[in-house]
């Protein structure tokens, strides 16, 4: 098998034999966002991503070192709006030479799933949603006022008084 004629499998499932025959491989591929629909829950979705991959053949294993970079549509955990998030993730995995296949799609999906679990915010200045009327405070200014400490003090005083009377 010639290194130059090698075509990267579109499903990213490589045959271990091919990699060993070529004594390793350096390659890159664009990922298809459709392949990640089952991993990312809407509204989070992958917009575009590139995979860079390096296989090194060791005595008993094949070492895969990968990098996935791209842009995903993320959701702000404060204001719940969607926003574009750039990412750049690396992975390293060993595959025994006697395994028939090297499933890089599986590890690419795992990498994306971990990214989804990060609590994102659209900006460090995000004001979030109003706890009373629910508007996005980045866009709308509402008149809601959070209960002030003085009001809590009033309540506490009332309870204290009540306790005193009961005694």
* Chain positions contacting Zn ion, by CB under 5 A: 76, 78-79, 122, 126, 130, 132-133, 142, 144
The minimum distance between CB 155 and Zn ion, in angstroms, equals: 22
The minimum distance between CB 119 and Zn ion, in angstroms, equals: 11
Other CB atoms within a 10 A radius of the CB of residue 44 amount to: 18
Name the strand (E) or helix (H) holding 90.
Answer: strand 82-96
The minimum distance between CB 88 and Zn ion, in angstroms, equals: 22
Helices (H), 11-148: 16-21, 104-116
Helix (H, G, I), strand (E, B) or coil at 167: coil
Q: Residue 142 or 155: which CB sits closer to Zn ion?
A: 142
Q: Residue 18 or 73: which CB sits closer to Zn ion?
A: 73
Q: Residue 139 or 162: which CB sits closer to Zn ion?
A: 139
Name the strand (E) or helix (H) holding 160.
Answer: helix 149-166
């Amino acid at each position: 098998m010639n290194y130059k004629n090698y075509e990267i499998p579109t499903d990213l499932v490589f045959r271990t034999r091919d990699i060993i025959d070529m004594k390793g491989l350096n390659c890159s591929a664009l990922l298809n966002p459709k392949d990640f629909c089952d991993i990312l829950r809407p509204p989070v979705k992958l917009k575009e991503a590139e995979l860079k991959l390096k296989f090194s053949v060791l005595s008993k294993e094949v070492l895969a070192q990968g990098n996935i970079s791209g842009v995903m549509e993320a959701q702000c955990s404060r204001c719940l709006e969607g926003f574009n998030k750039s990412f750049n993730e690396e992975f390293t995995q060993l595959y025994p030479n006697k395994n028939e296949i090297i499933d890089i799609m599986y590890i690419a999906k795992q990498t994306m799933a971990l990214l989804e679990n990060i609590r994102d915010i659209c900006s460090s200045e995000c004001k979030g949603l109003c706890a009373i009327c629910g508007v996005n405070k980045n866009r709308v200014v509402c008149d809601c006022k959070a209960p002030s400490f003085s009001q809590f003090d009033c309540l506490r005083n009332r309870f204290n008084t009540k306790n005193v009377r009961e005694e």
